[in-house]
Amino acid sequence: MSDGPMRKTLPRLDESLLTHLPPFSRLETRQIRTILDQASARRYEEGVAIFEEGHPAERFYMLLDGYVRVVRTSPTGEQITALHIPAGQLMGIAKAIGRDTYPATAVAASESIALSWPMRLWDTFVAEYDGFATETYKTLGNRLAEVHSHVMEMATQQVEQRVANALLRLINQTGRKVENGIEIDFPITRQDLSELTATTLHTVSRVLSGWEKRGLVESRRKRITVRDPHALMVLGQG
């Protein structure tokens, strides 16, 4: 499903939604009010595409709640998860990299809420709102570094190292403390993990099953909990 007609999910969006988020944190309340009055808000169910690779980049987004999986399509037609985006980050920012189409598909990895604006407002935001541009390019830099690390891992590391490092990245970005460790705070399947690490589903299942027997992780119904982050860190370093 692609991005259909936008609908307001709240009667009037409150300024506090944006004041603590880095791209907007330097702005005055009146500026944030102007920005919000131009925004549309929408709730997305898990598995719904917010925007799709190759489609015209008509809007840009701020993820307010939930998690988004960024998916690329390979030349052979396979869908590959490139990274995950947590709440509080911009996405669909094709204009920032000089594109007029989306370079990837964004899929809600859990129930999510996002604001969006018409892409024609991008240059206005960059020119008029202090901190918006610098934070945007910092975000792009961080994502590029993450993808670069991912490529290096696939080229140089063994499967166990790749899976360990992927889990460590996910708990660092989205982990929440639970009684028996740190849980990745959105539904993630072994298939998702296999795509993230360029590994077969069979291999990821074998690795996770081995770690479960050793008490390093716990995996059940789309939920993965890391019980021993230090042991995973050691595995990740090889």
pLDDT in tens, the chain (238 residues): 444 444 444 457 788 889 999 999 999 999 999 999 999 999 999 999 999 999 999 999 999 999 999 998 878 877 888 888 989 999 999 999 999 999 999 999 999 999 999 999 999 999 999 999 999 889 888 888 777 776 677 666 688 999 999 999 999 888 999 999 999 988 898 988 888 887 888 999 999 999 999 999 998 888 999 999 999 999 988 7
Distance CA 65, CA 161 (A): 30
Cα 17 from Cα 39, distance rounded (Å): 12
Going by C-alpha positions, the residue among 20, 18, 21 that lies closest to residue 31 is: 18
Burial 205-227 (b: 16+ CB within 10 A, else e): bebbeebeeeebbbbeeeebbbb
What is the value of pTM for the model shown? 0.70
In the chain, what are the domains?
16-131 (2.60.120.10), 156-237 (1.10.10.10)
Pairing of strands 105-108, 49-51: antiparallel
C-alpha dihedral (60, 194, 112, 4), degrees to nearest 10: 50
